Amino acid sequence: MRKNLVASLAVGVPLVVGVVATVLVLIWLPQIPNPAAVHWGFDGAPDGFAPRWVYVPMTAGLAGVLPLVMGATAVRSAWQTVYTTTTRMIVATTVGLSFFMGIILAGSVLIQRGVASAEDAPGIVPLILIGAAVSLAFGVVAYLLMPTSSERGPSGDAVAPLKLSPGEVAVWTSSATGSLPFTVVVIGMGVVVAILGVAGGPHYLLLVAALLAILPIAFAVFHVSVGREGLLVRSVLGWPRRRIDLSQIASVEVVDVHPFQQWGGWGWRSSPQGTAVVTRKGPALQTTLTNGRVFVVTCEDARRGAATLTALVEREREGRDAATS
């Protein structure tokens, strides 16, 4: 029963909304100017134009396919009986996003019906307000309807410390490289934005596309190292980065990470339980800090990294205890 409910909300809603919005766009499309307005400025007047057929893939993709892909991860969680707060938020966001984009895109076509020139199209502020109100309402309903069970997958595994001789120096390095789906999604977003910019949209869209092209590098490739200064996780571009001193670490484990189910996606993630650098599904090095929060990073050979870090943490703790005794 729970699984069917999650599937209906996470997959069924965006599928229905996406199809309905796309069909309406197809029906109204011959009645709008060509080129059509695809962007409105802060003054409420259209300032970006493109061939009217652009509305068809935009509506199908942003109101249907994109929320559908997001919702599919929640369905996978349901099949594993994982109903975390993150999963509930994904479902709520999926439902809200499908309604918001469906109303904005189909509504943008609706208000241009019968307009002689796209430059004379009315403003879309009312559409944005309606879309925001409807998406918020349906998103809240979806969140409340989601199961609240907190059953989770297997907990992390403690790793035996690496055996070190007195004074021996131990260093471990690894990489956290983004998965293919993450890279494809971000590059795909950049391509869509670039197409809109080239097709006649505002020129700043090309800048947005350029920034999106950098994201796979900045947030999908990290260097991970363990040494006497603690744990260091740094993007290949130098930022973002995080260093955790050995004295700040209470325990070290190896965990199996599911990006969307546990952290809501890829990249540098944050939640009430802590922070994570998630570039792919699979083994990750998890440190529980002395303040109770966790820091997680997916990486190659996480088990050996955990063993090295555990040994260094224990050595630092023993040295601290000896200094205070």
Q: Quick one: tokens of 280?
A: 């792919």
Q: For position 39, what pLDDT does the model report?
A: 82
CB 188 within 8 A of CB 215: no
Q: Name the pLDDT band for 221 (thresholds 50, 70, 90).
A: confident
> Is the pLDDT at 153 greater than 70, yes or no?
no
Q: Tokens 């509506």 correspond to what residue?
A: 59
Mean pLDDT of 216-220: 65
**pLDDT tens digit string along 77-135?**
554 544 566 677 778 888 898 999 999 999 999 999 999 888 889 988 888 899 999 99
Q: For position 214, what pLDDT does the model report?
A: 63
What sign has the CA pseudo-torsion 130, 133, 135, 141? negative
Query: Which range, 30-44, 59-73, 259-273, has the best average confidence (pLDDT)?
Result: 30-44
Rounded Cα–Cα distance for residues 21 and 98 (Å): 10
Q: For position 86, what pLDDT does the model report?
A: 66
> Is the pLDDT at 164 greater than 90, yes or no?
no
Higher per-residue pLDDT: 79 or 19: 19
Range in 92-96, 161-165, 185-189 with the lowest mean pLDDT? 185-189
Query: What is the value of pTM for the model shown?
Result: 0.58
Q: For position 325, what pLDDT does the model report?
A: 64
Q: Quick one: tokens of 242?
A: 């995080």
Q: For position 238, what pLDDT does the model report?
A: 80
> Is the pLDDT at 64 greater than 90, yes or no?
no
Q: Name the pLDDT band for 196 (thresholds 50, 70, 90).
A: low
Mean pLDDT of 56-81: 73
Rounded Cα–Cα distance for residues 146 and 149 (Å): 9
Mean pLDDT of the chain: 80
Q: Name the pLDDT band for 295 (thresholds 50, 70, 90).
A: very high
Tell me, which fold does domain 157-324 have in CATH?
PH-domain like (2.30.29)
**pLDDT tens digit string along 223-245?**
899 998 899 999 887 888 899 99
> Is the pLDDT at 154 greater than 50, yes or no?
no
Q: Quick one: tokens of 70?
A: 């997001």
